[in-house]
Structure 1
Amino acid sequence: MASPTKLTVTPLLFIITLISISISPASAKTFRCTSGGATCDAVVDYVSPNRTTLGAIQSLFTVPHLRSILGANNFTLNSTGRTPVEAKQTVRIPFPCICRNGTGVSNGRPVYTVVSGDGLYHIAADVFSNIVTVAEIVAANNIENPDVILVGQNLTIPMPCSCDAVDGAAVVHYGHEVAAGSSIEGIAQQYNVSQETLMQLNNLTGPQDLKAEDIIDVPLRACSSMVTNSSLDYPLLVPSNAYVVTANTCVKCKCNTAMNTMLQCEPAGINSSCPLIPCEGSANFLLGNTTTSGCNATTCSYAGYNRTIQTMVDTVSTCPAPPSPGSSATSLWQGWRWNGLMIFMLCVLLV
């Protein structure tokens, strides 16, 4: 059996590698994660350097199922691995995260296999589009000499992530690549997060700290759900404009906070062996069905799965809420009542 080929970096590339390590601190893209040992799901932006396909990106990031990428990007579920991705197109990559030593890092994947002509700078900057730094790859793989790597060597790529709650709420931490011309205010508005939270999470003191192509931690609020803590997919955190396929590919749950803050689940329709999913024993009221009666809307909601898929009846009121005490509407109503009473008393006195 032939021994692995040693890749010795050329003098020029060696100098570039040393410079990239010296100017990029090990924590350049790491996210704070204080929940030691916690695991969760996270996403990160990948800007494709060349025209490629979803299947090639799935392979590069060792994502087990293409549907995970489709859901994270809200791509149609019938997309295939041959679906093209244009150069400079941004694709969100879902991956497992684990918290260690106060920071979060991708848990076990992706793993990159070194090929002929590779160097650490090329792998970090070109192959993985600056999601990680050279210094982070060196540290994650205990590389003693950064200018020498082996063909066939497997390198763990430590992508940034976190599992921490934000402002008391569970979130999906999103590694967002800053586009040129972006502002803290604009990013905060786009992802419905306060500027203060964004700055605190990323140790930003002001607009001057936000740099194009930086990866910053953006906490994405997830839709509420009926999923119980005994479910195999608990907690099912799905941010807005995304979906997941769960329950052994039988259920698709999507989040669209612009229309409803509750997670909307229905049969996925991609596995012919999946059973019909009735709600609490009703053969005609199935998962995802909604009925209305007066001001009440009743939905058959997804509640999780173990050996079987659980559902739950969820009823919400669609009537406008009565005005709260002290509100302008309440004051107006009280004003009309008082004026009406005064008119009535005047009429009685005149009779």
Structure 2
Amino acid sequence: MPTTNILYITTIIIIIILFTTTPTTSKSTIEPCSTTDSCTALLSYTLYTDLKVSELASLFQIDPFNLLSANSIDISSPDVVSHILPSQLFLNIPITCSCVDGIRKSVSTHYKTRPSDTLSNIADAVYGGLVSADQIKEANEIDDPTVLDVGMSLVVPLPCACFNGTDNNMPAVYLSYVVKDVDTLAGIAARYKTTVTDLMGVNALGNAAVEDGDILAVPLSACASNFPRYASDYGLSVPNGGYAITAGHCVECSCTPGSRLYCQPASLSVSCSSMQCKGTNLMLGNVTVQQSSAGCNVTSCGYGGFVNGSIITTLSSSLQPRCPGPQQVPPVIAPPTMVTPDMGLAPAPSPFQLGGAPIGGLPGSVVPSTSSSIAFPPAANGPSGSISGACTLVNPISSFSLVMVLVLFLGLVFPFL
């Protein structure tokens, strides 16, 4: 066979290989379910642009005060709902995790399309890889994903897990974490104070290898409530060191040292029902101590749930060996105005970062800036798991560039053969 024919055939084969879409699979943990029970779960999310607190809350259709409380941000700051959060800020997003079509997911989020939106941009940039373009396409029964009408309201199915609100028989809230290219399972475990073994068990992983774009269910130690089932905030569980706002913005509950749920009046100027324990002068969250020869008599006014618009208070008394000190609640931070490595709101570090390397010095530790098609904020109205795979495609521009180089090279070589 002539040399020119061999080179021609070789060129065609290389072009076919380069243009063939080579799938890379991103894994996510799926929790099967068969009940209508729901739970509060968290999503890891990095802001793709500067957004007001209200805009970010609208993007996920959640209460802005729940968003702030989930990240221990001071809700009493002036005009906090209009505060602008900086791009690349890493936050926990609280969502309601339901049972839909036999698996756990959140389907309460809707996105209103803008000019130049594509399903890929909505999935990868606006929602930070928490969902895939194919999942949005399927959830909305879209026949032609290349044609999106401006103003369409798209259901955005988001990953979540409940696992009965426990991890190793201890209270837990589950975070859906999108793996970054600098992450390792050991780094994620260290960041969230769990173990590699636990993460592998929860996510049904055969080994400790994780890839960029994988979505892991991460158990966070929590304080669980024991409110009655008829309470509107039944099943309230707060991650260790965090806050939750409840009872119509009137009560804030935190997970204190010792994994004890502590609730007190929230620092918001709203109309609230009585928070006084009947027959006493104690208000919600108050504790009195009285030393005696037998020990310390401790009386406290606790929170018993939100029922028919009323705040239920419970009075409890106990004799303890020694008197407790002042109640220690988790610290809150001012609404962030810039992203710094020491804020504690950054993606999970790898072991290299934990060893002392500056977080900002590693490439790929934050979501890259987005394209012009989504440069504006979205509209304001806007256990043992199983692993599923969602395919993504290689960058066709890179393949095209390689092909052009090859064609130019062969164009120069052929005349000499």
Shorter-normalised TM range: 0.7 to 0.9
Unmatched tracts of structure 2, length 5 or more: 1-19, 323-417
Structure 1 partner of 2:264:
266
Q: What is the alpha-carbon distance in structure 2 between the residues aligned to residue 206 and residue 122 of structure 1?
A: 31
For 2:128 and 2:172, the matched residues in 1 are separated by 25
Alignment of 1:120-269 (within 5 A): 120-165=119-164, 166-208=167-209, 210-256=210-256, 259-269=257-267
> Which moved further from structure 2: 151-160 or 177-186?
177-186
* Cα separation, 1, equivalents of 2:60 and 2:126: 11
CA-to-aligned-CA distance 1:38-63 (integer Å, 9 cap, x gap) = 32221101111223222221122222
Q: Distance in 2 between matches of 1:19 and 1:125?
A: 18
Partner of 2:315: 313
* CA distance in structure 1 between the partners assigned to 2:316 and 2:186 by the alignment: 37
Following superposition, the deviation at residue 81 of structure 1 comes to 2.6
Structure 1 pair 162–179 and aligned structure 2 pair: CA distance change class (3 A):
same
Shift of 1:179: 4.2
Give distance in 1, aligned partners of 2:258 and 2:299. Answer: 14
Q: Which amino acid aligns with 1:281?
A: G
Distance, in Å, in 1 between the alignment partners of 2:21 and 2:285 is 56
Partner residue in 2 for 1:51:
50
Q: Provide the C-alpha distance between the structure 1 equivalents of 2:270 and 2:117, rounded to a whole number of angstroms.
A: 44
AA matched with 2:175: Y
For normalisation by structure 2, the TM-score amounts to: 0.64
Q: Which amino acid aligns with 1:273?
A: S
Inter-CA distance 105–19: structure 2 relative to 1 (3 Å threshold): farther
Q: How many angstroms does 1:122 deviate by?
A: 1.1
- Supply the AA of the counterpart residue of 1:57: L
Q: Is the 8 A contact 1:72 1:92 kept in 2?
A: yes
Q: Structure 1-normalised TM-score? A: 0.75
Change (3 A) 1:197 1:153: same
Runs of 4+ in structure 1 displaced over 4 angstroms? 22-25, 315-318
- The SS at the match of 2:82 is coil
State the 1:290 CA deviation.
Answer: 0.9
Tell me whether 1:96 sits opposite 2:118 in the alignment: no
Match of 2:61 in 1: 62
State how far apart, in whole Å, the 2-side matches of 1:280 and 1:211 are. 56
Distance change (3 Å), C-alpha of 1:198 and 1:102: farther
Distance 2:154 2:214 in 1: 22
Displacement of 1:183 in angstroms is 3.1
SS at match of 1:126: helix
Which one has more relative contact order, counting CA pairs under 8 Å at least 6 apart? 2
AA partner of residue 191 (structure 2) = Q
Distance 1:290 1:188, change over 3 A: same
- Aligned-residue RMSD, C-alpha: 2.5
1:205-260 alpha-carbon deviations (Å, 9 max, x no partner): 2232x12443210122321434233322101111123222222222111113xx23
Deviation at 1:266, TM superposition (A): 0.8
CA distance in 2, matches of 1:69, 1:150: 30
Separation (CA, whole Å) in 2 of partners of 1:127 and 1:316: 51
Per-residue CA deviations over 1:74-125 (Å, capped at 9, x if unaligned) read: 1101242332222211121112221234421113x21011111111111111
